[in-house]
């Protein structure tokens, strides 16, 4: 680790050099100005339907394909649970595989492949299996009370709450360093998905409660992939709405979508059931330009807007929590945590919780205040709430690309730590591949990581400003 210095026993990493910071700011402003004042905003709207490739069409329509993708992920999930529950708690693959490889890599998967995680989700695999009692064939009478999701909860508040709790557990309770806690969280998530499937119709939890699905849902609007109707006219003339209701060939859309009104990726979980159920072969898997949905979002919602603001706050908080400003572990440093510790005297976890709540609230209130100012500047022509909702979508790419910059650093600088653990995943003293005790260099050097981070942040801001300009 030649990039780091050790100070008072703490490994420190220098921040991005000044010139990178100012180049990033300069690029953001320059490119944004060019986009902002461009009169003819001609966007590429062309699509390429992957189902035109016969093999892909054949593959998507086979019911066993999702099972074939989910099974290996399920087995990996079982390995993580076994490692966390029964493995040596010191040398254990569970935290690194979960929090560095999966959580770190998930955001990259969303950027390029949209909601692909939902397609391979092991929690969904378990829930579907225990409810439908079929590996892949359609069971029209699954074990479920098929109740409607409560009307007051038909929003993504539950997912937002779970995401905040996860961040608190991750950074405050440091659950991500604990194999056992990681496994317990995996089990808890399984129960969170399984119980609702027995009670509510379709996959209501995926639509309203899943924190992974809802976050990736908003982010997936930037992805260059979508499932859409090939022809809206065909959909409008369709009386049976098999995509919504299901039939012998495919389940009803688990998140209650129908292709006629599907214009955004937010709630599509790419399960491909609509490909199987549509009697008119009117479903396309399109490759499209990046950020197609988010640049022209048709149905802005308050709950999604709140999630967008919280996403930005939490991703920023993630970065802040790594700095000495938040917690200075070196000698004599004053930080937010040490100040709160001194003020409350109730321990680090309490100070962390108070600090995190504050850090979450500040950008939120600031954003509301700026929306209110805009409302006044616009001579009350538009309400503060409407401004809040419409402009919030411009924060999504900023949060996504910041998330990429942050997670990319973890994957690139820590991903190699999995290699020694692969030989002894449970800490039983094995050396399956001869990698135990070996140290491996970082996948990317610090300068490369910095440059990539600046590029990500700049791209996010440029897309964000473009969306704001359109709003």
Partner 1 sequence: MSLGLRSEMKKNTLLILILLLLFASIVESHHIRGIPHYSYRDNYPETPVYEFIQNTSHYEVTFTYYKIPGNTAFDLAVYVRDTINDLPYTDPVEFLVFGKHEDPNNSHPFTAYRNQTNIYKVGWVYEDDGDYFVRVTFADSVKKHNILFDLKVGNRSNVWLYLLVSVASIIVFAAVVGVIRKKQKRRRK
Is 329 a binder of partner 1 (CB under 8 A)? yes
Q: Using alpha carbons only, what angle is made at residue 119 by residues 245 and 288, rounded to the nearest 5 degrees?
A: 90
Q: What are 134's two structure tokens?
A: 């079929």
Q: Please tell me the count of residues contacting partner 1 according to CB under 8 A.
A: 97
Is 421 a binder of partner 1 (CB under 8 A)? yes
Residue 179 parent element (H or E): helix 179-199
CB of 157 to partner 1, least distance (A): 24
Is 390 a binder of partner 1 (CB under 8 A)? yes
CB of 50 to partner 1, least distance (A): 30
Q: CA-CA distance, 81 to 89, in Å (whole number)? A: 12
Which positions from 46 through 75 interact with partner 1, judged by CB under 8 A? Answer: none
Q: CA Rg, the chain, in Å?
A: 23
Which positions from 75 through 94 interact with partner 1, judged by CB under 8 A? Answer: 85-86, 88-92
Is 434 a binder of partner 1 (CB under 8 A)? no
- Picking from 469, 418, 443, 114, the residue whose alpha carbon sits closest to that of residue 288 is 114
Q: What are 15's two structure tokens?
A: 């921040």
Which positions from 17 through 46 interact with partner 1, judged by CB under 8 A? Answer: 18, 21, 25, 29, 33, 36
**Secondary structure E strands in 50-207:** none
- Picking from 239, 142, 223, 248, the residue whose alpha carbon sits closest to that of residue 258 is 239
CB of 73 to partner 1, least distance (A): 19
Under DSSP, is residue 313 helix (H, G, I), strand (E, B) or coil? helix
User: Which of 295, 413, 457, 463 touches partner 1 by CB under 8 A?
Assistant: 413
Is 137 a binder of partner 1 (CB under 8 A)? no
Q: CA-CA distance, 245 to 216, in Å (whole number)? A: 25
User: Which of 209, 250, 427, 464 touches partner 1 by CB under 8 A?
Assistant: 427
Stretch of residues binding partner 1 (CB under 8 A), selected from 7-15, 114-122, 157-165, 356-364: 7-15
β partners of residue 147: 200
What character string, x for contact with partner 1 (CB under 8 A) and - otherwise, covers 253-292?
A: ----------------------------------------
Is 342 a binder of partner 1 (CB under 8 A)? yes
What character string, x for contact with partner 1 (CB under 8 A) and - otherwise, covers 189-228?
A: -xx--xx--xx-----------------------------
CB of 346 to partner 1, least distance (A): 10
Contacts of 297 (CB under 8 A, 6+ apart): 221, 264, 393, 467
CB closer to partner 1, 31 vs 130: 130
Asked if 104 and 157 count as a contact pair (C-beta separation under 8 A), the reply is no
């Amino acid at each position: 680790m030649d990039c780091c210095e050790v100070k008072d026993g703490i490994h420190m990493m220098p921040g991005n050099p000044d010139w990178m910071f100012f180049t990033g700011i300069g690029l953001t402003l320059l490119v944004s100005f060019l986009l902002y004042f461009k009169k003819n905003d001609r966007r590429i709207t062309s699509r390429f339907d992957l189902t035109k490739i016969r093999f892909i069409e054949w593959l998507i329509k086979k019911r066993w394909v999702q099972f074939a993708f989910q099974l290996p992920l399920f087995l990996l999930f079982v390995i993580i649970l076994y490692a966390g529950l029964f493995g040596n708690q010191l040398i254990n693959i569970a935290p690194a595989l979960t929090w560095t490889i999966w959580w770190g890599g998930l955001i990259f998967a969303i950027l390029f492949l949209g909601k692909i995680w939902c397609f391979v989700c092991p929690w969904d695999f378990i829930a579907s299996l225990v409810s439908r009692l079929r590996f892949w064939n359609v069971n029209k009478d699954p074990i479920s009370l098929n109740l409607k999701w409560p009307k007051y909860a038909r929003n993504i508040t539950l997912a937002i709450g779970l995401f905040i709790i996860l961040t608190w557990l991750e950074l405050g309770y440091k659950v991500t360093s604990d194999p056992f806690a990681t496994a317990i969280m995996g089990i808890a998530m399984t129960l969170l998905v399984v119980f609702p499937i027995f009670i509510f119709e379709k996959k209501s939890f995926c639509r309203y409660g899943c924190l992974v699905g809802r976050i990736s849902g908003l982010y997936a609007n930037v992805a260059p992939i979508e499932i859409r109707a090939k022809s809206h006219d065909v959909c409008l003339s369709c009386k049976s709405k098999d995509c919504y209701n299901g039939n012998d060939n495919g389940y009803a859309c688990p998140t209650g979508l129908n292709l006629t009104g599907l214009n955004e990726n937010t709630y599509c979980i790419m399960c491909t059931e609509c490909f199987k159920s549509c009697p008119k072969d009117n479903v396309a898997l399109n490759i499209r330009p990046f950020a197609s949905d988010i640049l022209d979002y048709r149905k802005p919602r308050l709950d999604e807007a709140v999630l967008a603001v919280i996403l930005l706050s939490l991703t920023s908080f993630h970065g802040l929590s790594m700095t000495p400003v938040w917690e200075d572990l070196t000698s004599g440093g004053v930080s937010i945590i040490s100040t709160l510790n001194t003020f409350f005297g109730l321990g680090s976890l309490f100070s962390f919780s108070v600090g995190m709540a504050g850090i979450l609230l500040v950008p939120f209130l600031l954003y509301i205040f700026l929306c209110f100012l805009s409302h006044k500047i616009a001579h009350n022509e538009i309400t503060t709430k409407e401004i809040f909702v419409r402009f919030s979508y411009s924060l999504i790419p900023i949060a996504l690309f910041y998330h990429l910059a942050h997670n990319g650093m973890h994957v690139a600088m820590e991903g190699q730590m999995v290699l020694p653990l692969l030989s002894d995943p449970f800490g039983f003293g094995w050396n399956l591949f001869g990698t135990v005790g070996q140290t491996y260099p970082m996948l990317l050097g610090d300068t490369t990581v910095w440059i990539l981070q600046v590029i990500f942040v700049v791209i996010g801001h440029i897309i964000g400003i473009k969306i704001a300009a359109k709003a």
